[in-house]
Amino acid sequence: MKKIKFDIEKDNLILSINGDILLYDDNENKQKLYNAAQNDKITKIVIDATQLQQWDSSLVAIIFELAKIALKRNIKPEKINFPVGLDRLINLALSVDRKPAQILENKKTFLEYVGDWGVSVYNGFNKGTDFLKQSWQALKRLLSGKSVMRGIDLSFALEDCGYKAIPIVTLISFMVGLILAFVGAVQLKTFGAQIYVASLVTIGMTRIMGAIMTGIIMAGRTGASYAATIGTMQVNEEVDALKTMGINPVDFLVLPRMLALTVTMPILTMWADFMGMLGGGFVGVTMLGIPMQKYWDMSVSAITMDNFLVGIFHGLVFGIVTAICGCYYGVHCGRNADSVGLATTKAVVASIVWMIVMTGIITVACEVIGI
Amino acid sequence: MTESQAKIEAKDLNIGYGDFVLLKDANFQINEHDIFIIMGGSGCGKSSMLRVLTGLVKPLSGKVFVDGVDFTSASVKTKNKIMQGNGILYQSGALFSSMTLAENIALPMQLYTEYSSSQIKELASLKLALVGLAGFEDYYPSEISGGMKKRAGLARALALDPEIVYFDEPSAGLDPVSSKLLDDLILDINQTLGTTIVIVTHELSSIFAVGNNSIFLDGETKSILARGNPNELLKNPPNEKVLQFLTRGEGKNA
Ligand SMILES: Nc1ncnc2c1ncn2[C@@H]1O[C@H](COP(=O)(O)OP(=O)(O)OP(=O)(O)O)[C@@H](O)[C@H]1O
Ligand SMILES: [Mg+2]
C-alpha cells in the first residue's frame, strides 16, 4: 500500500497516511497531492492518520503545505486520528504572530539598480568626507589639548606598527631588492654594465618601491587589524558604550591609530629603502662579483635627495591612506561577525586602491613641478 | 509618595530607522527614584527606545527631556554632560576588551574626575566589590563568565555615581540565581543611592520583583499599550495582549 494515498470522491479530497513516514521523498506524489488540493472542485479535505505509525518533519512539511493551501481556499481540513504532537506542530507553524515589516523587493528594473547605485555612491562619498572632517576635528582637539585620547593608546599603537612591523618589512624589502637586482642584472650583463645594478636598485627602492612595499605590507597587517579591532568593538557594543559615556570614538579609537601609522610609515619606508639596497648588494657582490666597496660607492652616488624625499613622502601619504581606510571601515562596520570580515576585506582593498590613486597623483604632481 | 519631578520625559517620540517606523507618538514620564520597566514582545523596539533615551540614536521626531533639559537637540557639550550622568549596562556587558576590569571602570573616572590615580584605583576596587567581583581587578573581560561580565559592566556603569542607570536585558543569559542576585543589586542601588533605573526586559520575575512603573510597547499597533505598576497591571490588565504577556500566555487563571 502507498504510504501517502489520496483519492478524490466527488468534491472530497481524502488522504490516508499509512505506516512509517520517515524522510518521505516521493516528490511526484506530493506534487500531485498539492495539485489535487488546489483543484476548484474540492470543497472538503479529509486527512486520515489512523494507520500512521512513526513520522518526522517530512510529514509535518507535507501537512503544513496542505494546510496552507486549504487556508487560502477557506477549507478547514478534517483530521482523523491525528497524533497530538503532529497536530500541535501544525497549529504552531500556522500561528504566525507577526510577518516581517518590510518585504524585500528583489525585482528591480535596470534603471532602479542604476539609481540605487548612484545613491549609494553619493552616500558613501558623504560618509567618507564626514569621516575625514571628524578626524580633522579630532586632530584639532588634540592640538588644543581638549582631546580624550589617552597617551597609552598611542604608545600601544606606535609599538604595534613600529618595531613589531620591522621583521616583515625587513624580509620583504630585502627580497624585493634582491629581485630587482636579479632582473636588472640579466639585462645589464648583455652590455657588460652590471655595475649599474647598484644604481638601478637604489633609485628604484628609494623613489617608489620601498614605499609601495611598506604600504602594502602595512595595509595587510595594520590596516586590516584596525578595521577588525574597531569593527569587533562595534559588534560588542563597546563603541556604543564609549559614545554614551560622552567619549568621542574618533578621538579615542581612530586618532591614536592614525597618528601612529602616520609617524611610523615614513620611518619604515626609510628602513625598507635601506634593506632593499642591502638585498641588491647581496646579489651584486655574491653573484655578479662586484667588489663590495665599489657597489657601495655606486649606490651612494645614485641616491638623490629628490628621489629619497619623494619616496618618504609616498610613505607618509600611504600611512595616512591606510589608517583612514582601516579606521573608516571599522567604524562603519555592521553589527555581526560577518560584517567584521567584510570590513577587513574592504579596508585592505580600499587602502591598496587609494595608494595606487595617490601614487598616480603624486607622480603627475612631481612631473609638473619637475622633480 | 509625593508628586516627584519627572527625571526623564518622552514627548511625541517617533522611533524607527529610515522609512521603517517602530513606534508612533510615544509619551511617557520616568520619575526620579523610579525603577521603570520597558517591556514588550521581541522586536517591538525596546532596545531602540533605550538607544533613543540614552542619546545614541536620534528619534525620527519628538523629544526627550532629562531633568527638564531638551536632550535630543542639545549641543554636543550639554549632551555630553547629560551622558556623563547616565550609566548604561549593555546586553553583552560591552566591556573594553583591551583593558582589565579595573581599567574599564577607571576609564570614565580618569576622563571626567579630578581624582588621583591611587584614588581611582581604590574606587574601582570598591565598585567591583559592590557587584561581587572583589579580587578580579586585573582580569581581562575574556577571562570571566557572561554573568560576571554583566556585573562588571554594571560596576562601570556605576563608576561616576550616575543619576540614571539604564539596563538592556540585564537577566538575559543568566542562570536564575545570578539573575535574582542582579535584581537584588538593582534594588539595592535604587534604595541606597536613590538612582533612577530604567530596565528593558521581558523577564517576568524581574518585572514583578523590581519594577514600580512601566510601559508596554506593542509592535503591531506601534504604540504604548499599557502603563503603570506591573503588579497593578497584572491585577487589572487593560487588554488581552498585556494579560497574555504578563501571564506567559496563560490568561486569567494563571
Ligand atoms: N540599526 C538598525 N537599522 C535598521 N533596523 C533596525 C536597526 N536596529 C534594529 N532594527 C529593527 O528594529 C526592530 C526592533 O529592534 P529592537 O532591537 O529595538 O527590538 P527589541 O524590542 O529590543 O527586541 P528584543 O526583545 O528581541 O531585543 C527590529 O525589527 C530590527 O530589525
Ligand atoms: Mg533588545
Q: How confident is the model at residue A102 (pLDDT cuts 50, 70, 90)?
A: low
Q: What is the pLDDT of residues A147-201, one digit of tens each?
A: 888 888 999 999 999 889 999 999 999 999 999 999 998 888 888 888 899 999 9
Q: How confident is the model at residue B1 (pLDDT cuts 50, 70, 90)?
A: very low
Q: Ligand 1, atom 12: nearest CA belongs to which residue?
A: B45
- What is the structure's pLDDT at B84? 85
pLDDT at B68 over 50: yes
pLDDT at A333 over 50: yes
Q: Is A243 on the interface with B (CB under 8 A)?
A: yes
From B17, B92, B223, the mutation candidate for ligand 1 (largest count of ligand atoms within 8 A of CB) is B17
DSSP state of B169: S
pLDDT mean over A68-79: 87
Reported pTM: 0.78
Q: What is the pLDDT of residues A229-276, one digit of tens each?
A: 999 999 988 999 998 888 889 999 999 999 999 999 999 999 999 999
Distance CA A167, CA A156 (A): 18
DSSP state of B251: -
Share of chain B above pLDDT 70, in %: 96
Domains contained in chain A, CATH given: 4-95 (3.30.750.24), 148-369 (no CATH)
Chain mean position to CA B115: 27
Q: Count of CB atoms within 10 A of residue A111's CB? A: 8
DSSP state of B137: T
Describe the crossing of helices A210-218 and A166-190 by its angle, rounded to 10 degrees.
Answer: 140
Residue pair A136/A259 in contact by the 8 Å Cβ criterion: no
How many angstroms is it from B19 CA to the middle of ligand 1? 14
- What is the structure's pLDDT at B254? 45
Residue pair A276/A325 in contact by the 8 Å Cβ criterion: no
Whether B96 and A102 lie within 8 Å, measured CB to CB: no
pLDDT mean over B1-18: 79
Q: Is A48 on the interface with B (CB under 8 A)?
A: no
Q: Is A74 on the interface with B (CB under 8 A)?
A: no
pLDDT at A27 over 70: yes
Q: Is A141 on the interface with B (CB under 8 A)?
A: no
How many angstroms is it from A76 CA to the middle of ligand 1? 36
Strands of B196-200's sheet in order across: B86-89, B164-168, B196-200, B35-40, B213-218, B223-227
pLDDT mean over A21-28: 86
Distance CA B3, CA A328 (A): 49
pLDDT mean over A102-111: 71
Q: What is the pLDDT of residues B15-47, one digit of tens each?
A: 998 888 899 999 999 999 999 999 988 888 998
Q: What is the pLDDT of residues B145-187, one digit of tens each?
A: 888 888 899 899 988 889 999 999 888 878 888 888 889 889 9
Task: For strands A4-9 and A12-21, give the pairing.
Answer: antiparallel
DSSP state of B86: E
A236, A244, A247 ranked by CB distance to B86: nearest: A244
Distances (CA, A) of A364 to A78, A266, A319, B105: 81, 21, 20, 52
Ligand having the closest approach to the CA of A100 = 1
Q: Provide the ipTM.
A: 0.81
The alpha-carbon gap from A117 to the nearest alpha carbon of chain B, in Å, equals: 18
pLDDT mean over A112-137: 92
Residues flanking ligand 1, CB < 6 Å: B 17, 20, 22, 42-48
The alpha-carbon gap from B119 to the nearest alpha carbon of chain A, in Å, equals: 19
Residue pair B217/B39 in contact by the 8 Å Cβ criterion: yes
Describe the crossing of helices B176-193 and B146-157 by its angle, rounded to 10 degrees.
Answer: 10
Q: What dihedral do alpha carbons A158, A160, A164, A170 form, nearest 10°? A: -80
Give the position, in ligand 1's atom list, of the atom nearest the Cα of B169: 27
The alpha-carbon gap from A62 to the nearest alpha carbon of chain B, in Å, equals: 29
Distances (CA, A) of A4 to A16, A265, B165: 6, 72, 60
Q: Ion ligand 2 — residues with CB under 5 Å?
A: B 47
Q: What is the Cα gyration radius of chain A?
A: 34
Residue pair B128/B102 in contact by the 8 Å Cβ criterion: yes
Q: What is the pLDDT of residues B203-234, one digit of tens each?
A: 888 899 999 999 999 888 899 989 999 999 88
- What is the structure's pLDDT at B4? 52
Q: What is the pLDDT of residues A286-322, one digit of tens each?
A: 988 899 999 999 999 999 999 999 999 999 999 999 9
pLDDT at B3 over 50: no
Whether B97 and A245 lie within 8 Å, measured CB to CB: no
How many angstroms is it from A317 CA to the middle of ligand 1? 40
Distance CA B82, CA B76 (A): 10
pLDDT mean over A15-27: 87
How many angstroms is it from B60 CA to the middle of ligand 1? 15
| Closest-approach residue (CA) in chain A for B241 | A97
Residues of B in contact with A150 (CB under 8 A): 110
DSSP state of A74: T
Q: Chain-wide mean pLDDT for chain A? A: 90
The alpha-carbon gap from B207 to the nearest alpha carbon of chain A, in Å, equals: 23
Residue pair A337/A235 in contact by the 8 Å Cβ criterion: yes
